[in-house]
């Protein structure tokens, strides 16, 4: 029987061989609310937070040793075992020769599609589904470079620390932290926060954790937090970010969970660049978000997981990305009449992202149905 240490070492070799990292990602002590969800993908139980293509990497390595394809694949594809073996031979070679190797489910899916492009579509879809990888119709091509400008109005840029999955509230809202060592932030830290941070370090050195916790609460109440990242304590400022120009489904709506999970998958454990254009009265900053050079709003729109918020964003590129997703019927557009946050045949108070004043809207379309609403709006305007 193989001992556990030997098995663990072998597993590490498998991941390193295929360009995957087995070490734990940097952890933080942030306690921002909102679970990220961990929806299972494929029959292996892999998820958005555990890298959905790891099972494929392991199976390719196993195939090179044993020439055996995984059990259960035949339930998803109709081709023979001999054909399946040929697939894995091609995929193993392509994976080894790719520079760099795939590092995300999307990259792995593209490699599979490109390598097996001559195979029948049902078999290709079955293989991808077996590993929980994105299907061809769900993959989107993202443009390079900066987001299309709306007009002048950029106020400042943020360069964040690693994003915690729990900081993602839904598909268009995230809480981020920026180190106070950042050039812009360093001169803006209130003196009382600096003093509390110094005293907290002293209290922890003296093992007076009750006092240290009380001082940290003062820091948090002032809009800052001490994060423990890579064995270092970092004083950081908190920013709540509203993605500019898009509106994702609410968490309780169809595709609300998918939108949130997609945003988590894109930005979890990553440092973001955020261009800030506005701030609402609740302290949320409205901005364009970039992750590893990818414009996040573009990805959300092209995958059909958000609407273009045309009331406050007139950029034609965002309009086109939504239109393309609608034409391909991806994401929420799989429904011919997707429920929008202001739909449902009922009056919904949807907070405006720029003014944070309530925007009263309703599902009914007839004049008679709208009459009580108009009276209500008029009464509000007089209050």
- What are the structure tokens assigned to 7, written together? 């098995």
Strands 358-361 and 40-41: unpaired
Strands (E), 251-317: 272-279, 284-291, 294-295, 307-308
72, exposed or middle or buried, with CB in 10 Å at 0-12, 13-18, 19+? Answer: exposed
Q: What is the DSSP letter of 155?
A: -
106 is catalytic: no
- For residue 303, the tally of other CB atoms under 10 A from its CB is 24
Cβ(289)–Cβ(277) below 8 Å: no
200 is catalytic: no
Helical (H) or strand (E) element with 15: helix 4-17
284 is catalytic: yes
Residue reference for tokens 């997707």: 338
Which of 268, 284, 315, 322 is flagged as catalytic? 284
Residue 59 to residue 89: CA distance in whole angstroms: 11
Q: Looking at residue 268, what DSSP letter applies?
A: B
Going by the DSSP 8-state scheme, the letter that residue 226 receives in this structure is E
At 295 the three-state DSSP class reads: strand
The token pair at 178 is: 């920026």
Catalytic residue among 242, 244, 258, 268: 242
Q: Which of 200, 237, 240, 250 is catalytic?
A: 250
The residues annotated as belonging to the active site are 242, 250, 284
């Amino acid at each position: 029987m193989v001992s556990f240490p030997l098995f663990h070492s072998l597993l590490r070799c498998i991941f390193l061989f295929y360009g995957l990292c087995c070490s734990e990602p940097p952890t933080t002590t942030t306690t921002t609310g909102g679970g990220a969800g961990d929806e299972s993908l494929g029959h292996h139980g892999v998820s958005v937070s555990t890298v959905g293509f790891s099972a494929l990497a392991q199976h390719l390595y196993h195939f090179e040793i044993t020439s055996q394809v995984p059990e259960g694949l035949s339930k998803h594809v109709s081709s023979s075992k001999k054909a399946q073996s040929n697939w894995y031979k091609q995929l193993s070679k392509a994976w080894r020769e790719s520079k760099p190797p795939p590092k995300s489910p999307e990259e792995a899916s593209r490699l599979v599609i490109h390598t097996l492009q001559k195979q029948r579509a049902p078999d290709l879809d079955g293989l991808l589904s077996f590993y929980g990888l994105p299907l061809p119709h769900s993959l989107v091509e993202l443009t390079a470079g900066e987001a299309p400008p709306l007009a002048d109005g950029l106020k400042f840029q943020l360069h964040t620390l690693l994003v915690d999955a729990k900081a993602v509230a839904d598909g268009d809202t995230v809480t981020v932290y920026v180190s106070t060592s950042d050039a812009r932030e360093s001169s803006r830290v209130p003196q009382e926060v600096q003093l509390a941070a110094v005293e907290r370090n002293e209290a922890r050195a003296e093992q007076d954790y009750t006092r240290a916790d009380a001082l940290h609460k003062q820091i948090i109440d002032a809009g800052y937090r001490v994060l423990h990242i890579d064995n270092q304590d970092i004083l950081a400022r908190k920013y709540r970010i509203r993605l500019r120009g898009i509106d994702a489904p609410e968490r309780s709506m169809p595709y609300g969970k998918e939108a949130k999970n997609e945003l988590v998958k894109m930005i979890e454990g990553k440092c973001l660049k955020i261009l800030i254009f506005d701030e609402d009265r609740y302290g949320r900053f409205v901005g364009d978000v970039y992750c590893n050079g990818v414009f996040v709003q573009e990805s959300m729109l092209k995958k059909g997981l958000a609407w273009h918020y045309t009331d406050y964003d007139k950029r034609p590129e965002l309009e086109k990305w939504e239109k393309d997703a609608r034409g391909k019927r991806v994401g929420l557009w799989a429904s011919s009449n997707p429920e929008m946050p202001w739909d449902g045949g009922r009056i919904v108070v949807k907070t405006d992202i720029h003014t944070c004043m309530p925007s009263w809207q309703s599902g009914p379309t007839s004049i008679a149905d709208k009459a009580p609403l108009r009276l209500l709006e008029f009464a509000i305007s007089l209050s």
